[in-house]
Structure 1
């Protein structure tokens, strides 16, 4: 869902194609030691980078399919977090993390998939995010083993990791990974627990100049789940869609406490928050502008409901909790 929505609103992201509570919840008395924390990629943050530093249960090291193709960055990162980087034989051109995936053969993107090359690779398993009909129609006649991974909600992250673990002979590794990420999320939520909830709007792109109605994350998106987990709430009503444009008049009327934009590479907001504040000041009299609580989150990882979701959660928590600049 995330990829399909963002491509419809014209985002060109160099880091993504796009975009189970019980199954992934850590057991009350684990039979073996928990997953060892990987170093963070953000310095002093609480979120660990399990994609760059996976830990595999020893007995599962040699299990599972040997030839995997990933047609989504979130699927690629899940594979790497499960220690399956050496099994990847194909990826999209947007799959660029961890850096070592650059050695894996690129196959284009969803709408430009090189099916001929894909067939010659003879994959045991193809992983795809969402339920794109376009890619389904192209792959179905090929009689290849494909798995579509859920990518809408926060719990879908854990469902997807669990499913890949099952398919690739690493169910224990997947359970430990889910448990470790849940621990990161809980620790971050505790650190940033607010005294008073803020009303937030989050936009997967930056506001244009002059301002035009921007797309926003709504109820049913994994961003909404993260904001709720942080103790805050979307400045939207529950009847709105997970993704959709908001009129400038609606934004003025709802008057959120915090505005958050996503900028994949910093190109749209080279000046960071200051640039975003200047852009949103042209919309009208907004509380977030008056109180200088307009934030920009940089990085393609913030578009992916995958193993680095705790990094996005921590960035959102920090953006909301930081004092005005």
Structure 2
């Protein structure tokens, strides 16, 4: 055998070894997830997971997902295997997935235990910071073997957030109350992606120190906090003539600065409630709204 043929055989061996090398990442619980090769059949068990998989370049490999996985448009045609309350475990198994991406706080723990017992690799997704979104895309890209696509998406997202932070974060702070739900009255503490978005825009989450992550609060607590802006999720962005029924309760409390100055804002829930690259769109909307609040001083 000539030196050239030996070199060719060695290179071929390296390529073959690389092609079959195990892929390992750490999920959002700190557990290692290892696959023998790129995932080809993926089940997504949360709407935000579906978006992350598409961003990472793996949309065409999703063989099953859950209700409300509606973005991008191609996700709407993926077979459903349940919702945030219950999963069809038999159907999931019948899809023969080589990776299941689950939502740690959104999927029933008992059903997750049953899935884990089947030996199918599980990746738990629970981004709690903006950097986690970019990291999640990159990690899913590793498991899918689509690192270049994933890195392009994560880099673009990181750039968009950095530009907003540079433009708004050092402006005069605006005290913000984010209303998750109106009955019972609920908000977010600091351990949430959207709370960090408030900071990106130069805002201050008035209930950042509360517990748990989605605390129930009282009307009196909001009155005492006296936010300069009140924000909630809506089916669409705030328009000058758009009514915000979820915030109507506050109009009687004219002593609240946000009410007195008309700083009641609604932002499309899909772009602020899901920890995906689209939260950069929601962040841009919030930043504009808080700048309006500054202009009303």
TM-score of the alignment, normalized to the shorter chain, above 0.5: yes
Structure 2 residue matching 1:223: 3-state secondary structure: helix
Which residue number corresponds to residue 198 of structure 1?
174
Give per-residue Cα distances to partners, 1:59-96, cap 9 Å, x unaligned: xxxx8221111111111111111221211110102101
Residues 77 and 198 of structure 1: CA distance in aligned 2, closer, same or farther (over 3 Å): same
Which residue number corresponds to residue 186 of structure 1?
162
Q: 2: CA distance between counterparts of 1:111 and 1:246? A: 25
State the Cα distance separating 1:221 from its structure 2 match.
1.1
User: Which residues of structure 1 form unaligned runs of 5+?
Assistant: 1-22, 24-62
Which residue number corresponds to residue 217 of structure 2?
246
Q: 2: CA distance between counterparts of 1:253 and 1:124? A: 52
Give per-residue Cα distances to partners, 1:98-134, cap 9 Å, x unaligned: 1111221111113221111111110111111225524
Query: Which residue of the other structure, out of 164, 172, 191, is the alignment partner of 1:220?
Result: 191
Structure 2 residue matching 1:117: 3-state secondary structure: helix
Structure 2 residue matching 1:136: 3-state secondary structure: helix
The structure whose RCO (Cα within 8 Å, separation 6+) is larger is 1
State the Cα distance separating 1:177 from its structure 2 match.
1.9
Query: Which residue of the other structure, out of 241, 248, 269, is the alignment partner of 1:278?
Result: 248
Contact kept in structure 2, 1:92 and 1:109, CA below 8 Å: yes
Residues 219 and 256 of structure 1: CA distance in aligned 2, closer, same or farther (over 3 Å): same
Q: Which has more radius of gyration?
A: 2
Which residue number corresponds to residue 263 of structure 2?
293
**2:289 paired with 1:315:** no
Q: 1: CA distance between counterparts of 2:168 and 2:186? A: 27
Counting matched residue pairs gives: 255
Match runs of 1:1-325 below 5 Å: 64-131=38-105, 132=107, 133-193=109-169, 195-205=171-181, 207-208=182-183, 213-236=184-207, 238=209, 240-263=211-234, 265=235, 272=242, 275=245, 278-283=248-253, 285-322=255-292, 323=295
Q: 1: CA distance between counterparts of 2:205 and 2:94? A: 47
Residues 179 and 204 of structure 1: CA distance in aligned 2, closer, same or farther (over 3 Å): same
State the Cα distance separating 1:273 from its structure 2 match.
5.1
TM-score under structure 2 length normalisation? 0.78
Structure 1 residue matching 2:85: 3-state secondary structure: helix
State the Cα distance separating 1:149 from its structure 2 match.
1.4
User: Which residues of structure 2 form unaligned runs of 5+?
Assistant: 1-25, 27-36
Residues 302 and 93 of structure 1: CA distance in aligned 2, closer, same or farther (over 3 Å): same
Q: 1: CA distance between counterparts of 2:110 and 2:215? A: 21
Contact kept in structure 2, 1:273 and 1:296, CA below 8 Å: no
Give per-residue Cα distances to partners, 1:272-316, cap 9 Å, x unaligned: 355455331134621100011011112323210112121121121
Which residue number corresponds to residue 34 of structure 1?
none
Which residue number corresponds to residue 16 of structure 2?
none
Structure 2 residue matching 1:238: 3-state secondary structure: coil
Residues 110 and 239 of structure 1: CA distance in aligned 2, closer, same or farther (over 3 Å): closer
TM-score under structure 1 length normalisation? 0.71
Residues 152 and 134 of structure 1: CA distance in aligned 2, closer, same or farther (over 3 Å): farther
The ranges of structure 1 where at least 4 consecutive aligned residues each deviate by more than 6 angstroms after the TM superposition are: none
Contact kept in structure 2, 1:272 and 1:296, CA below 8 Å: no
Q: 1: CA distance between counterparts of 2:103 and 2:240? A: 31
Contact kept in structure 1, 2:58 and 2:146, CA below 8 Å: no
